[in-house]
Amino acid sequence: MGSVSTRSELAQKASELKALGKKVVTTNGCFDILHVGHVRFLKAARALGDVLIVGLNTDRSVRKLKGEKRPIQSENDRAEILSSLGCVDYVCLFDEDTPVEFIKALKPDFHAKGADYKPSDLAETPVVEAGGGKLEIIDLVPGKSTTSIVGKIGVS
């Protein structure tokens, strides 16, 4: 089971792990209503290395990205749920519009994103590469998304 930590704590931890030869993987997202697509994505991300650190958008940043009716679940609830997954080692809340500062601090060996993104469209791609890491694109599970679940239950 993982833990929720601050960016500075995780930057130190990532540095220590890398010094021990461990491969650090990061990813980020809202993870508002956890579903099978999230779980498969997180397992695939974790398989890229030895430690998976998830950057989790705060409630404020989710509202900015998804609209005033989101998130459905609070940042603390989302962080607790994510940190309870066996494939997630650490969770870190971030309030910025992009995970750039999170990635600058952690300098991962790999940063995973879903196949709904292109590396050239992501603000974090040059930051990952400048830190010596590699951006990895992971296939999504067709038809599985928080947006589709929210649509089914009538919350838009």
* pLDDT score at 153: 78
* pLDDT score at 23: 98
Number of separate domains in the chain: 1
C-alpha span between 77 and 81 (Å, rounded): 6
Range of the structural domain that residue 32 is part of = 3-153
| pLDDT digit string, tens, across residues 99-143 | 999 999 999 999 999 999 999 999 999 999 999 999 999 998 877
Mean pLDDT of 39-67: 96
* pLDDT score at 41: 97
Considering the entire predicted model, what is its pTM? 0.92
DSSP-derived 3-state class of residue 56: strand
- Here the CATH number for the domain that contains residue 11 is 3.40.50.620
DSSP-derived 3-state class of residue 127: helix
75: left (phi over 0), alpha (psi -120 to 50) or beta: alpha
Residue with tokens 């929720």: 4
